[in-house]
Amino acid sequence: MPDEHAATGSAEERASGGAITRDEVAHLARLSRLALREDELDHLAGQLGDIISAVARVQEVAAQDIPPTSHALPLTNVFRTDEVRPGLTPEQALAAAPAAEQQRFKVPRILDEEA
């Protein structure tokens, strides 16, 4: 099964800063759960290509032996005592729901017809 989260096209070609293809933009929109219109895809293809070419400059300076930083300050796990505290009532939690039924969030079907 193909990896849905892999981008399409040649990695070498893209990593060298080549413009992103329109097909690739359409694929990114699907991965991002954005139902974009055709004209939006056209417009974004040019803009994303420019941005990707510009940000590819990070490849100029970062040698292999530099450790990555994910966070500005060192993170340590934080524990707290396991005690009961007041939380939201079901009414508060559901107050902004687009749809609710029987004290639950009501959502569209999550399985495909053919599934």
Partner 1 sequence: MSTIKKTAAELAELFASGEASAEEIAREHLGRIRAVDGDVKAFLHVDEDNVLAQAQAVDARRAAGERLGPLAGVPIAHKDVFTTKDMPTTCSSKILEGWQPPYDATITARLREAGLVILGKTNMDEFAMGSSTENSAFGPTHNPWDLTKIPGGSSGGSSAAVASYQAPLATGTDTGGSIRQPAAVTGLVGMKPTYGGSSRYGVVAFASSLDTPGPMARTVLDAALLHEAFSGHDPMDSTSIDRPVPPVVEAARRADVEGLRIGVVKEFGGDGYQPGVLARFREAVELLESLGAKVVEVSCPHFGHALPAYYLIAPSECSSNLARFDAMRYGLRVGDDGTRSAEEVMALTRAEGFGPEVKRRIMLGTYALSSGYYDAYYGKAQQVRTLIARDFDAAFEQVDVLVSPTTPTTAFPIGERADDPMAMYLADLCTIPSNLAGNAAISVPCGLADEDRLPVGLQVMAPVLADDRTYRVAAAVERALQDRWGGPLLAQAPDLTEAVK
Can residue 75 be called a binding residue for partner 1 (CB under 8 A)? yes
Q: Which of 1, 38, 39, 62 binds partner 1 (CB under 8 A)?
A: 62
Say how far apart CA 33 and CA 18 lie, in whole Å: 25
Side chain identity, residue 91: E
Strand partners, 101: 104
Q: Which of 1, 38, 80, 102 binds partner 1 (CB under 8 A)?
A: 80
What is the three-class DSSP state of 47? helix
Can residue 48 be called a binding residue for partner 1 (CB under 8 A)? yes
Q: Which of 1, 39, 66, 114 binds partner 1 (CB under 8 A)?
A: 66
Q: Are 67 and 44 in contact (CB under 8 A)?
A: no
Residue 8: closest CA among 17, 16, 50, 22: 22
Can residue 70 be called a binding residue for partner 1 (CB under 8 A)? yes
Residues 6 to 45: which contact partner 1 by CB under 8 A? Answer: 6-7, 11, 14-15, 20, 25, 28-37, 40, 44
Angle at 95 between CA 94 and CA 101, to 5 degrees: 45
Q: Which residues bind partner 1 (CB under 8 A)?
A: 3, 5-7, 11, 14-15, 20, 25, 28-37, 40, 44, 47-48, 50-52, 54-63, 66-73, 75, 77-78, 80, 88, 92-93, 95-99, 105, 107-112
